Structure 1
């Protein structure tokens, strides 16, 4: 869904515009404090509204589908999941020159976990496996296709292009030959031949919230849908240390082929992200470097 306008993002949002949107469409919240909430996300901006809400607005046209997908599916998924997920409290419409739909959500407390800084990684691994298992067990009909989840080979051209780009960045110190071997091994893994499974499809640390070291919420379901279950193995390499990685794998009962595809998908995302975000998004670039180190250590 789109507004029909042709704005090319990222949209230049500011506090005054967001306040006008809220006041014009949700006057009951007009007097609440509002301010931009720091985020490493690249598709949507977040504005804290009062103590208990957050406004989420697309920065680019590609974020519009996230808004509409979450509005349709989160109310159906929420009762089926063991972890808190965003709750839509208000559905905003284009106005004041802003061209896209936007939403108001209930604020979910917690902190984003950081690789290397987990206080209870094995328990977090169990929590993550419980969430992924619950997603895979969902049987709601008419599910959309996940943004990620198709054949791994569809990522081959972009992954190899990213490897070529990294060869031209010797300051990153990336062993592109070793990573190419890992990628080729992933491509050789047998494809998923079971029914498509429900996926979050974007389990990055920035989309997880923890409290006391345990998983308290999963956010940003814009990529959700059905596809290859290997897509929800991202935390094994982008967050969990080696011991907790094995706990995560055992709790999910992941077979060898799915594990290889999952590693390949996580690596592909990191390889593509690093040259693109190395100068503009420290969180994304930092996590990409972490994934690359972990994959090389695991395959060495």
Structure 2
């Protein structure tokens, strides 16, 4: 088994492990550095297919069950409590690690501590998985904080005290075109199906970017026209025009997102909240909303009388 399935791949597996170790040794938010040598790992991972491995536990001289590190399934809800930074335990799925990295904004962009805290309950098990996971692509933005075993007591870290980083000095950065990597289409299948009830909830959420109900049957033509005419003044906000101009080769997806952002920011009255992580809060905008609400209430009172 070892000669047939493990040895032909061991050089690649060892290289992946060593690349992960070298990357993590330089990472500022990982506080444990006693990585074992590759040959000292207690688990050997036999490649089974493009997505997973069969683990062999050397100390027990037995094989374990198939592990798919790229299974496109989110098996837990990471965003239950947004009042604190995300804390996730024993995430050994490459797909879920990339999902978190894609969906959590940098602390500098939201003006508050917003790291992803990954807590691993067993250091040795984490080291074993470095043979089949790839952390290098997840760390350039420094979004992740690693905590091992008893280090969980450090959650959440006071970055101002420990690292001299005060994220509150940053303003919330408006969400960018290339930040949007997932669009959720809420489709209404009948005239009266409760969809508008959920829309009202979506519109009032400070950290959801929503687009009011619209017919998108001609979306391909709309994107095509926008690609051809976007440089004409007034088609998009100046910020989005500038961002598109800086993209080397903007794609149809970029233009679709630009259209979405342009309309979402313009249409959603409830988008700018003080605690929003997507858009800077504006006192002037807030006061305008209050005046509009008072005017509407006064008009409704007049009708009721």
Question: In which range does the TM-score fall when normalised by the shorter chain?
Answer: under 0.3
Whose helix fraction is larger, Structure 1's or Structure 2's? Answer: 1
Q: Which has the higher contact order (CA 8 A, sep 6+)?
A: 1
* Structure of higher CA gyration radius: 2
TM-score (normalizing by structure 2): 0.26
TM-score (normalizing by structure 1): 0.26
